[in-house]
Amino acid sequence: MNKRHTFHDVLRDVTQEHIQTTIKHDLAAWIDTSVIAEYILDELEEQGVQPTLDNAKTIWLDVLANELCEAIRSSIV
C-alpha cells in the first residue's frame, strides 16, 4: 500500500538529509587526514616495507575494507 507523504513529511525528510550532509562535511573537514597518512607511512617503514604511495594506498584500502567499520562499531558504547 502506498503511503501518501504530506508536505510536513517531505520537509522533515529534506531537513534530515540536509542535517546529515552538513554533519558529514563538518566531520570530514575535522578529520586530520595528514595524521592518518603519517601513521601509515611510519608503520610501513617500521615493518620494513617501502613507504610508497601505492603501498600506503593498499594499506588504507585494506583498513577501510576490513577494519574501520568494526573499529567504529566497537567504539560506540
- Per-residue pLDDT tens digits for 3-57: 677 988 888 888 999 899 999 999 999 999 999 999 999 999 999 999 999 999 9
Is 51 in contact with 43 (CB distance < 8 Å)? no
pLDDT at 2: 58
The alpha carbon torsion through 31, 32, 36, 41 (nearest 10 deg) reads 160
Would you say residue 60 has pLDDT above 70?
yes
pLDDT at 1: 53
What single-letter DSSP state applies at residue 31?
A: S
pLDDT at 9: 85
Q: Mean per-residue pLDDT for 59-75?
A: 94
